[in-house]
Structure formats: structure tokens, C-alpha cells
């Protein structure tokens, strides 16, 4: 402290402390700018890869994620299984038996019984509806409730009857789903896809001249199209045979003013039968 008195040096030290300098490193000052010019810039070494703990010490995945992974690992193609089971059925009794033991549709666990078909399998007209309701689930036959009673009157108006002994005037009836969905809810796309192979095999074995797609879900399941109010009455082709979409009788019970349109479709069906 040759050039600086004690009190001046103490005051300067206090000022440095206020600026944040709290430790003395060297006795002599260092020119940091000169050091930066002289020293080469060294590239920083690449960061080390994080250590991967052994499998035994890794945390286990959450239960939900583990269950999801197990489900994916054990997932099966239920549509392919249904297609294989349906193709193996060489007649209608064998098809019904294959559907009864098909284990991949949860509806079979909640429904009372399988609803396979009604009417004459040799009939020229085959009606495919949507799904069984409560009465159908109890009796094991399609279209036996109020909607079924209306259907019988509609068919009788053009000379058709499910109980007729003559294939010319009888009909054969089934549904896209053979089991009743809980609370009569709509069939899901997954259910339609899963059970579709059985319906198509059913059509192949019955071999009708004409198909009636009765309801929006029957149209969706067999043509891939939705919107029964737009599609009804317009002839199309399903599995190399003519098919006509029509209102489901349950819909007509809710909206009776559309019965006139259903009558038009019935007359169109009658006229088509005369041509074939």
C-alpha cells in the first residue's frame, strides 16, 4: 500500500464487496483480455450419453400403459377370424353353429339368445335388418315385435308372407347383428365389421334373387353407405344381386308420415320380382 493509505484501501475493498467480489484469488491483477487473445479456443467435448440403468433397476410402466401394451401384443384380427369361420360353414345350420360359438363379440355375453333367421331360406326375397330388439331377443326370431308386425302387414300388401310355403311368395329374414345390443343401442362400426362376414356368408348360402336392406345399418354394413332417407328406393347391387334400401319398420312407427315412401318402395320391389 505504497501509494494508497489504509482507509482508502479499506474503502475500495468495501466498494468491491458491494459489487459482488467476495474472494481474493491472486495477489497481482490479471489482464483477462490478453489471456483470451493468447489462448486457443478449445472445442467443448461432446456431452456424454446418459447412462442407461439396467432393466432390473428401471421403473416399471404405469399399470394402464402396461395393460395397453399387453392388449396390443395379444390383439387378434377378429374380422379375419369371423371370415374364416363363416367360410368354413357349408350350410345354414353349420353357419348358425359357427355364430353361436364365435367368442369375440361381447354382445353374445349380454344377449339372451342368438337371433339367426326366420322364414323360408329358399325364398326369392331376403330381408336384412339392423339388430334384434327386446322381443326378438326373447323369442330368438327377427322382426317379431311391433316393428315385425308392421313388416308383416307391409309384405302382405304386395303378396308376400314369411310363413308362406311357396318360395315365390315367401321371404327370408335376418339381421346384421345376431345378438341384441344393450338397451337397443345402434350397432357400432366395429360390430358391423366383425359380424359382416357371417351376414355375407348367410346371403351366399340362401342365394336369394333380391335383397332388401331394411334400415340404415343394413345399408352401411352391406354397401358401405349411410343415410337411409337418401338411399331408400334406389336400386343398387350387393354381392352380384339387386338390392333395394328401405325404411326400417321401427322408423315408420316413429314417423308414420313416411309410410307413403315405404309403399313406393314396396311397389318397386313387387315390380322387380315380376321381371326376374
Work out the average pLDDT over 71-90: 83
Strand partners, 245: 213
Residue 20 has pLDDT above 70, yes or no: no
Cα separation, 164 vs 109, whole angstroms: 34
Looking at residue 3, its pLDDT comes to 58
Strand partners, 244: 212
Convert the pLDDT of each residue in 118-173 to its tens digit: 999 999 999 999 999 999 999 999 999 999 999 999 999 999 999 999 999 999 99
**What are φ and ψ of residue 137, in 5° steps?**
-65, -35
Class of residue 224 by CB neighbours under 10 A (exposed 0-12, middle 13-18, buried 19+): exposed
Long-range pairs, 196-199, Cβ under 8 A, ≥24: 196/79, 196/82, 196/221, 196/222, 197/79, 197/82, 197/83, 197/85, 197/86, 197/87, 198/82, 198/85, 198/86, 198/95, 198/98, 198/99, 198/102, 199/128, 199/174
Work out the average pLDDT over 102-108: 96
Looking at residue 2, its pLDDT comes to 52
Structural domains of the chain, with CATH:
81-275 (3.40.470.10)
Class of residue 132 by CB neighbours under 10 A (exposed 0-12, middle 13-18, buried 19+): buried
Convert the pLDDT of each residue in 235-244 to its tens digit: 999 999 999 9
Cα separation, 151 vs 119, whole angstroms: 13
Amino acid at each position: 500500500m505504497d501509494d494508497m493509505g489504509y482507509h482508502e484501501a479499506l474503502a475500495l475493498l468495501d466498494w468491491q464487496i458491494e459489487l459482488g467480489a467476495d474472494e481474493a484469488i491472486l495477489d497481482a491483477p490479471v489482464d483477462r483480455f490478453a489471456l483470451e487473445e493468447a489462448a486457443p479456443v478449445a472445442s467443448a467435448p461432446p456431452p456424454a450419453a446418459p447412462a442407461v440403468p439396467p432393466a432390473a433397476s428401471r421403473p416399471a410402466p404405469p399399470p394402464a400403459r402396461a395393460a395397453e401394451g399387453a392388449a396390443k401384443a395379444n390383439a387378434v384380427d377378429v374380422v379375419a377370424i369371423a371370415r374364416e369361420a363363416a367360410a368354413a360353414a357349408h350350410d345354414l345350420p353349420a353357419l348358425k353353429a359357427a355364430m353361436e360359438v364365435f367368442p369375440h363379440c361381447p354382445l353374445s355375453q349380454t344377449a339372451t339368445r342368438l337371433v339367426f333367421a326366420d322364414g323360408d331360406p329358399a325364398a326369392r326375397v331376403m330381408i336384412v335388418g339392423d339388430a334384434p330388439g327386446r322381443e326378438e331377443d326373447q323369442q330368438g326370431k327377427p322382426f317379431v315385435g311391433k316393428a315385425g308386425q308392421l313388416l308383416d302387414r307391409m309384405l302382405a300388401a304386395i303378396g308376400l308372407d314369411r310363413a308362406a310355403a311357396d318360395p315365390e311368395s315367401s321371404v327370408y329374414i335376418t339381421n346384421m347383428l345376431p345378438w341384441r345390443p344393450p338397451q337397443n343401442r345402434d350397432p357400432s362400426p366395429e360390430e358391423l365389421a366383425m359380424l359382416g362376414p357371417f351376414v355375407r356368408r348367410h346371403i351366399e348360402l340362401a342365394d336369394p334373387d333380391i335383397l332388401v336392406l331394411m334400415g340404415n345399418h343394413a345399408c352401411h354394413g352391406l354397401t358401405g353407405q349411410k343415410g337411409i332417407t337418401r338411399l331408400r328406393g334406389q336400386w343398387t347391387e350387393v354381392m352380384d344381386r339387386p338390392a333395394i334400401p328401405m325404411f326400417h319398420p321401427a322408423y315408420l312407427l316413429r314417423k308414420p308420415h313416411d309410410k307413403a315412401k315405404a309403399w313406393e318402395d314396396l311397389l318397386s320391389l313387387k315390380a322387380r320380382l315380376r321381371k326376374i
